[in-house]
Amino acid sequence: LSARHILCEKQGKINEAYKKLQDGWLSNGDKVPPAEFAKLAAEYSECPSGKKGGDLGWFPRGKMAGPFQDVAFNTPVGVTSAPFKSTHGYHIILSEGRKN
């Protein structure tokens, strides 16, 4: 699976990022363009991947922590997840690609 994500320690901060995604695209039923998601990741994400626009590259099932993996693998390609909590904090995932 290939994905981008935004990671914040505080729920308030992830909700702020999610509101920008909603206002820009999600509330209209639009998909978030990866380049725009990347800009928000660079601004909000506290993960080192934020510098790369939240890009996690390709990863196999089993590599990521439980809740993160569950959401990542259940989010269709091109779709942005709702904010959720893992052991690392709060995430939003944008699924970018899948290899069968």
| DSSP bridge partners of 30 | none
β 2-8/89-97 pair status? antiparallel
Q: What pTM does this model have?
A: 0.96
DSSP helix/strand/coil, 33: coil
Mean pLDDT of 78-92: 97
> Can you tell me whether residue 49 is helix, strand or coil?
helix
CA distance 7 to 88: 8
The tokens 């993996």 sit on which residue?
69
> pLDDT tens digits, residue range 1-58?
999 999 999 999 999 999 999 999 999 999 999 999 999 999 999 999 999 999 999 9
**Contacts for 43 with CB less than 8 Å, ≥ 6 apart:** 17
Res. 100: pLDDT tops 80: no
Cβ–Cβ < 8 Å for 75, 98 = no
CATH number of the domain residue 75 falls in: 3.10.50.40
Domain ranges, residue 37: 2-97
